[in-house]
Every structure is written in C-alpha cells, then in structure tokens.
Chain A
C-alpha cells in the first residue's frame, strides 16, 4: 500500500519569506515516481514536478526547489522569496513505477494550504 503524508495542513507566511512544504511517503516499491501539484482557487491541478526514485538529485526551477531524500522517504518543496500568487493548496503525490510517470493510480497527500500575506 502507498501512503503520502503532508503533516502541515496550513502554512501562513508574509510575502518574500522562504517556505518549505513537507512530504513524507510510504511505499513497498523499490522504484516509483513522486510529484508535486499546485491547486489554485480556480480548482485545476497544475503540475510542478515529477521525479523518479532513481534520481536523487535536488532540483531548482526559478524560486522553486525540491529536496528528495530516499533515506528518509521525503520529498520536500521550498519556495524562495514567496509571492502572493503562490497562495494555493499544494499536493505531493506518489505513483508506482509501472505507471510510467503518468497520472494513473496517483496517491495524493491531503495537501498543504499555503497562504502568502502581502
């Protein structure tokens, strides 16, 4: 069975602060995919990143960075110099490797509601 835990239900920070969203996962698979999605108030899920379990390199994309640590089963997401537009619910998700990294059988966490105050 797969499980994704996002322990932070809600985080509120002031604009320009850095913020880290935690994600811890459980799986019996030795190979798998991890994802982060953003869900703004409009409702659609916006893909942010997909990482396969072979690749433990951290990734940076503009103000976003991800820290994947297989040893602790964590895939944390940091936003640097947060902006009001970053306000949204952020979901971490996990899928089995046979999915090929598609969106079938994704197991999502409950999400972290991020509020960026001006």
Chain B
C-alpha cells in the first residue's frame, strides 16, 4: 500500500490524558499537512511541514497541540491534557513539491474524549 497511513484509526481517551497520533506520508512526498474535522463540518487546517520544517501553524493549534516531523519522514501530532472539544477526526495529507502535486489524504484518526 503506497498511500498515506495514519495510526491509530480510532482512539478513546479520558479527559486530561495525553494522546499521540502518527502519520506516514507517501514516501517521496516532502510536504505533510494536518487537518481536523468535526462532525458535519469541513476539515480545518492545523499545520504543515516541508521536510522536517514546520512552516505554518493555524490559530486553531493551541499550546496543548504539538506536531513534529523528525527527519522529514513520518509525523506525530500530540495533544496534551485532552478536552472534550478535541473530539474530532484528525486527517493527515502529503504532497510532492511546491505547488506541483495534488495532496493525498489518509483515512484519519478518530479521537473521542470522554
């Protein structure tokens, strides 16, 4: 399978716990994006990387959120001290080059905070 993969697919956590999601992009893609999607809404941009550099962060990305992409390969998104409002689908996408390739999305990680 050469698509974007995300792990885990589903995560249930108690409020106040920390969670970490992983995204493995398509291997030759140097750009990686994180989006969040709540029920009945379109995805909202969170952040993106070009190689290992995090180039842009949305105002939606509060201090409790941190994303990394060490070595420019896979990426992790960590949420500290989760809140019920963090319940959403977290989508990862990757693309090749600047303005060259279309972005391919993974199937997402569905987070439920109870």
Chain A residue contacts of B108, Cβ below 8 A: 43-44
> Are B42 and A105 in contact, CB atoms less than 8 angstroms apart?
no
Known: A44-B108, A45-B105. A103 touches B95 (CB 8 A): yes
Chain A residues within an 8 Å CB radius of B106: 44
- A77 contacts chain B at the CB level, 8 A cutoff: no
- Residues of chain A lying within 8 A (CB to CB) of residue B98: 100, 102
A108 within 8 A of B: yes
Distance between Cα atoms of A100 and B95 in the complex (Å): 11
Q: Do residues A43 and B89 form an inter-chain contact, with CB atoms below 8 A?
A: yes
Stretch of B43-51, B64-72, B77-85 at the chain-chain interface: B43-51
A104 to B46 CA separation, bound complex (whole angstroms): 9
Also in contact, A102 and B99, with CB within 8 A (given A43-B89, A43-B107, A44-B107): yes
* B102 touches which of A43, A47, A107 (Cβ 8 Å): A47
Chain A facing B: main interface SS: loop
Q: For residues 66 through 118 of chain A, which have their beta carbon under 8 Å from a beta carbon of chain B?
A: 91, 93, 99-111
Interchain CB contact under 8 A, A104 and B55: yes
Write out the residue numbers on chain A whose beta carbons fall within 8 Å of the beta carbon of B111: none
A30 at the interface (CB under 8 A from B): no
Measured between beta carbons, the chain A residues less than 8 angstroms from B2 are: none
Residue A103 contacts which of B40, B89, B103 (CB distance < 8 angstroms)?
B103
Q: Is B41's beta carbon under 8 Å from chain A?
A: yes
Complex contact B99–A91 (CB within 8 A): no
* Chain B residues with CB below 8 A from A109, complex form: 42
Q: Is B22 an interface residue (CB 8 A)?
A: no
**Residue interface mask B10-49, A partner, CB < 8 A = 1:** 0000000000000000000001010100001111110010
Contacts of B89 in A (CB 8 A): 43
B110 (CB) vs chain A CBs: closest residue:
A43
A47-B104, A103-B95 known; 11 other A-B pairs, CB under 8 Å? Answer: A43-B89, A44-B105, A44-B106, A93-B42, A102-B98, A103-B33, A103-B48, A103-B103, A104-B31, A104-B33, A104-B45
Query: Could you show 5 A-B contacts with beta carbons less than 8 Å apart?
Result: A45-B91, A91-B43, A101-B99, A106-B35, A106-B45
